[in-house]
Amino acid sequence: MKRVALITGASRGIGRAIALQLAADGYAVAVNYRTHADEAEALCDRIRQQGGTAAAFGCDVTDEQAVSAMVQAVTQQLGEISVLVHNAGIAQQKLFTDLSADEWHRMMAVHVDGAFYTCRAVLPQMIARHEGNIVLVSSMWGQVGGSCEVHYSTAKAALIGLTKALAKEVGPSSVRVNCVAPGVIRTEMTAGLGEDTLTELAQEAPLCRLGTPEDVAKAVSFLVGDGASFITGQVLAPNGGIVI
C-alpha cells in the first residue's frame, strides 16, 4: 500500500507542484483546495493518468471542524497519513497602518491556525505509528521581514517557530517537522507584482532568476524522504540565494 501525503492548497501554484512531485515519489496524494475544485480534480486526473493515486478534498484550513473532517476523509479514502505539507496561503501588500483587524486575523488564520489545525489533526496517527513527516511552507519574508507585508511576514515567521518547537516535541515519536522558506516563485500569488518588479527581484538573487514551483517541490521531496532522516526542525530555503 502506498504511503499517503496530504498537501494543503494544492489546487494551484507551489502546492500543485508538490502534489505532482510526491505522486511521482510514490505517495498517494490528497489534494486539498479551498475554491478551485476544478483545478484540484484536473490535477488528480493527471496524477491518475500517470499511474499515481490522488483524490481531492475541499476544505478551508481556517475551519477547525472542516480540517478534522478532511483528515478523517483522507484516512478513510486513502489510508493513514505519512506526510503533511501545510502550503495553503494568501498574500496581501498593504501599509501596516492601513491593515484592518479582519485582514490581520485572516492572514494569521490561513497560515498559522491552518498549520495548528492540520498538524494537530494528523499527529495522533503519526505518533501512534512512530512515523511521519510534516513540512510547513514559510517564506523568505518570515526570515527577514517584508515592508508592506507585516502580517504575512509575522505569520510566516510564526511557522518557523512552530516548526522548531514541534520538532522538539514529536521527535522522540520519530515524527520529523521541517520548514521550507521559498524566495520569489512564479505563481498566481506573485503575478500581481508585475513583470518589472519580478525582473528586479530575479536580478537581486545571486542565481539571477525567479524560482519555479518545482524548485520548492524538490526541496519538500528531499525533506520528507529517507535522505533527510536525520533532519528535523530545520528551515530549507529554495530562494536562489536572495536570502543567505
Residues within window 105-144 making contact with ligand NAP, judged by CB under 6 A = 110, 137, 139
Residue 152 among the catalytic residues:
yes
Do the Cβ atoms of 140 and 91 come closer than 8 Å? Answer: no
Which residue has cell 516548526?
A: 163
Draw the binding track, 12-41, toward ligand NAP (x: CB under 6 A; -: no contact).
xxxx----------------xxxxx-----
Q: Does 240 bind ligand NAP (CB under 6 A)?
A: no
Segment lying near ligand NAP (by CB under 6 A), choices 87-95, 143-151, 170-178, 227-235? 87-95
Burial of 218 (0-12, 13-18, 19+ CB in 10 A): middle
Scanning 8-16, 93-101, 125-133, 166-174 for contacts with ligand NAP by CB under 6 A, the matching segment is 8-16
Using the minimum distance from each CB to ligand NAP, give the nearer residue, 82 or 139. Answer: 139
Buried b (16+ CB within 10 A) or exposed e, 150-167: bbbbbbbbbbbebbbebb
Asked whether the CA dihedral 74, 75, 79, 81 is positive or negative, the reply is: positive
The answer to whether 90 contacts ligand NAP (rule: CB under 6 A) is yes
CA 216 distance to own-chain centroid: 10
155-214: which residues touch ligand NAP (CB under 6 A)?
182, 184-185, 187-190
User: Cell 518589472, residue?
Assistant: 196
Burial class (CB in 10 A: 0-12, 13-18, 19+), 9: buried
Give the nearest distance from C-beta 3 to ligand NAP in angstroms.
22
Q: Cα–Cα distance between 75 and 39 in angstroms, integer? A: 22
Q: Is there binding between residue 151 and ligand NAP (CB under 6 A)?
A: no
Cβ proximity to ligand NAP, 15 vs 240, nearer residue? 15
How many residues bind ligand NAP (CB under 6 A)? The answer is 30
In the bound state with ligand NAP, the residue whose beta carbon lies nearer, of 174 and 190, is 190
CB of 104 or CB of 127, closer to ligand NAP: 104
Among residues 27, 33, 117, 152, the one annotated as catalytic is: 152
Q: How far apart are CA 163 and CA 206, in angstroms?
A: 27
Is residue 3 a contact partner of residue 225, using CB atoms and an 8 Å limit? no
> Which amino acids are annotated catalytic?
152
